[in-house]
Amino acid sequence: MKEIKFSISNITNKDTELVKNILNSGWLTHGKYTSLFEKEFSKFTGSKHAISLSSCTAGLHLSCLASGFKKGDEIIVPAQTHTATAHAVEYTGAKAIFVDVDFITGNLRLEEIKKKITSKTKGIIIVHMAGYPCDTKNILNFCKRKNITLLEDCAHALGTYESKKHVGNFGKSGSFSFYPTKQITTGEGGMLITNDTVFFNKIKKLKAFGIDKDIKDRNKPGDYDVKDLGFNYRMTDFQAALGFKQLLSYKKNLKRRHEIAKRYIKNFINSDKIIMMPYSKNCSYFVFQIFSKKRDDIIKTLKHLKIGFSVHYLNPLPKMSYYKKKYKLRLNDFKNANNYGLMNISLPMYPKLKNSEIDFICKSVVKAVK
Ligand SMILES: Cc1ncc(COP(=O)(O)O)c(C=O)c1O
């Protein structure tokens, strides 16, 4: 059996040809593909606004700033997530408050959130871990009652729904990632969606240095004012073209992800040493995650057979030196997040993955845990 990669992008030869044409055109940023990508993203997610960015982290950072988070505020984040979720809070001077997650969804639960609410709580950032929807509606209702801002980290969640609504539309904003392993990729890149026009306008300015006028609205170069201490969080036009093209075929991609998930589940269902989530039509299946006490034996086998895998994530954030030292955190307070880190493994999930490859991966994993 030849190598099975952990992830393969859906970039076609036509897409690379398009990138070449854009590079040759000399119009590398602020171009037409940026706005095409944003419009298509709004359409796909059903959001009022979409704004392209240099990363999902940029989206989270700008969302925290535009929500007014500042020193003295407390913002709740999951203990088990990518460090970007918590860093975005800390960039503003506010404090990231870690809350233990559910084992096995990896998502925040309202009962746990409630235990950490204080008079300083100004926001909650939920993550739809591995594409599995968080308990979004209930958390949003709680936020509304308490006057707390809800933000959504949708880095894994392109194609994730709750009650037929695309995630990212529940909170003030949803931030998506196009890092190479994601469902669609622009190399680095992100997109923020929001249904609040005032919030959108704030983000738009903060994304581009705090400049008050779009390039197309300027009478002459430099004809603008700077009203805020903004950033340069733009995406290039050739990245946007790649994202746009992959998004056009994403429905098909998502359908195949669901077929793959069902096949994994069918193959693993009789193994009592493998824990996994039941099939969900609302999950975007960023990866296919399983959990096992014998995770390290599985890793050894997969490495030997040249089958790609990943771990999302190995160490919960309270274990990371920066946060552990700063807030004197104890791992005992985050038991589920820790178990999640000890037991999870992400298996390949992409449309080009063949059924015979899925079956081979499953057979190898089952053998490894026996
Ligand atoms: C949950 C989560 N949030 C945020 C990010 C950051 O995304 P980006 O690399 O696009 O900044 C990631 C990255 O993979 C992630 O997994």
Q: How far is the CA of 147 from the centre of ligand 1 (A)?
A: 27
CATH-assigned architecture of domain 250-369: Alpha-Beta Complex (3.90)
Residue 369 amino acid letter:
V
Q: Does position 155 have pLDDT exceeding 90, yes or no?
A: yes
pLDDT at 30: 84
Tell me which of 80, 82, 132, 160 to substitute to probe ligand 1's pocket, judged by most ligand atoms within 8 Å of the beta carbon: 82
Q: Does position 62 have pLDDT exceeding 80, yes or no?
A: yes
> What is 13-248's CATH number?
3.40.640.10
Q: Could you give phi then psi for residue 295, rounded to 5 degrees?
A: -55, -40
Neighbours of 362 (CB within 10 A): 21
- Which DSSP helix (H) or strand (E) runs through 13? helix 13-25
pLDDT at 273: 95
Cis peptide leading into residue 285 (ω within 30°): no
Neighbours of 314 (CB within 10 A): 12
pLDDT per residue as tens digits for the range 184-239: 999 999 999 999 999 999 999 999 999 999 888 899 999 999 999 999 999 999 99
pLDDT at 364: 98
Report the share of the chain in percent with pLDDT over 70.
100
Q: How far is the CA of 1 from the centre of ligand 1 (A)?
A: 32
Domain residue ranges of the chain, discontinuous segments joined by +? 13-248, 250-369
**Is the CB of 174 within 6 Å of ligand 1?**
no
Q: Quick one: 220 exposed, middle or buried, by C-beta within 10 A (0-12, 13-18, 19+)?
A: exposed
Q: Provide, for the chain, the percentages of residues in helix, strand and coil under a 3-state DSSP scheme, each rounded to the nearest 5.
A: 45, 15, 40
Q: Does position 1 have pLDDT exceeding 80, yes or no?
A: no
pLDDT at 214: 87
Rounded to a whole number, what is the largest CA-CA distance in the chain? 71
Nearest to 346 by CA among 291, 305, 293, 297: 291
CA separation (Å) from 228 to 53, 209, 225, 258?
Answer: 18, 7, 9, 44
Mean pLDDT, residues 43-66: 98
Torsion of CA 71, 75, 77, 83, to 10 degrees: -20
Helices (H), 188-334: 197-207, 237-248, 250-268, 295-304, 321-327
Check if 13-248 and 250-369 are the same fold. no
**Is the CB of 52 within 6 Å of ligand 1?**
no
Distance separating alpha carbons of residues 364 and 310, to the nearest angstrom: 16
pTM above 0.75, yes or no: yes
CB 245, CB 18: distance < 8 Å: yes
**Is the CB of 179 within 6 Å of ligand 1?**
yes
pLDDT at 297: 97
Position 267 confidence tier, pLDDT thresholds 50, 70, 90:
very high
Nearest to 308 by CA among 276, 347, 345, 342: 347
Tokens of 265: 């589940």
**Is the CB of 77 within 6 Å of ligand 1?**
no
Q: Does position 287 have pLDDT exceeding 90, yes or no?
A: yes
pLDDT per residue as tens digits for the range 305-348: 999 999 999 999 999 999 999 999 999 999 999 999 999 999 99
- Comparing 46 with 26, which gets the higher pLDDT? 46
pLDDT at 333: 96
Position 156 confidence tier, pLDDT thresholds 50, 70, 90:
very high
Contacts of 273 (CB under 8 A, 6+ apart): 292, 293, 294, 369, 370
Contacts of 349 (CB under 8 A, 6+ apart): 7, 257, 260, 261, 285, 286, 287, 288
pLDDT per residue as tens digits for the range 334-343: 999 999 999 9
Contacts of 277 (CB under 8 A, 6+ apart): 104, 105, 132, 283, 289
pLDDT per residue as tens digits for the range 249-266: 999 999 999 999 999 999
**Is the CB of 56 within 6 Å of ligand 1?**
yes
Q: Is 274 helix (H, G, I), strand (E, B) or coil?
A: coil
